[in-house]
Structure 1
Amino acid sequence: MDLCEECGFGYDAVAAGDVPGRLGEFAPRFAGALAGVSDIRARPAPDVWSPLEYTCHVRDVLRVQGERLDLALRADAPEFAPMGRDELVITAAYNRQDPAAVLAALGSAAGLLATAFAALSPGQLDRIGLYPWPEPVPRTLLWLGRHTVHEGEHHLMDINRQAA
């Protein structure tokens, strides 16, 4: 995936040097988005996550992508395990979590991942890992960073849609 048909996010529009800053902006942007929703735990439809669930998901994406980045720097062509995104909504009880704690953890995870991406050399950004979604495909660490930015942007759009 290099262009999201739903939100219009173009992966190539994010330069390598922009990845850390874009990741670092997520904590205040998610806090602002949640503040604009009257009921952050409400699902607009059974198959659509609540704003809090989207925020928990992005927090966990940031954590998992950090683990994947670490693995790809230690091993050649690692295979990244799926994160179980749909299962985590239920097993981690996303909709019962404390929003302030979720936002704090999202900010911490975003900051750590931004710092890690800022430290990568061009050669490290070219390292490959087998990304599991939507099907296993070899991806560079630069793509991993861009995809993580996309996850945040896309789910901010999802939350803002519910606020409208």
Structure 2
Amino acid sequence: MDHQILFLNDNFFSSGTTIIYDENKTQVGELDLKSAFSSSVDVLNQTGSVIVSGKFRTLRNRWVVTDYDQNELGELRQRFAFFSKKYEYDAGKRGVYEIKSEAFSRQYEIYDSQSKLLVKFEKVSGFFSSAAYRLSSYETSMPAWEWIAVVMGVNAIIKRNNSAAANSGGAT
């Protein structure tokens, strides 16, 4: 499959499982958001087996993606940028991928080291409800399951940054 579209969402309290759908609204897996007190996620296939997981590294603002045996697949980190949002996913020997978005955009694009567009994901809800994403994968070089863990990592970094900003304002 050259082009794959998946839909996934976060729960309002960031815990429990949510369903991953394809463009035909067929369930293709689940997202286990573990608990409201941690940001870790498991991406499960249709039989409920863990395919990939994502979580923050201890005391760091970096998101690590692992396979079902806890072997590290890659690490996501935020990059400093003016007037835009940038992240970098380092997948080791498989390459380094750049995740970019305009400052107030709800759409993100993932590029390989040759600036080839591989994946688009956009936030399709989230104002008074939990965040939901539409993931369009244009390349099969990396499984869509791994990109789901990366997308949830971007979401977790944004939540962590927003929480830190809210907690730091007003105390003088």
Does the TM-score normalized on the shorter chain lie above 0.5? Answer: no
Identify the structure with bigger relative contact order (alpha carbons < 8 Å, sequence gap 6+): 1
Structure number with the higher strand fraction is 2
TM-score, structure 1 normalization: 0.30
Larger proportion of helix: 1
Q: TM-score, length-normalised on structure 2? A: 0.29
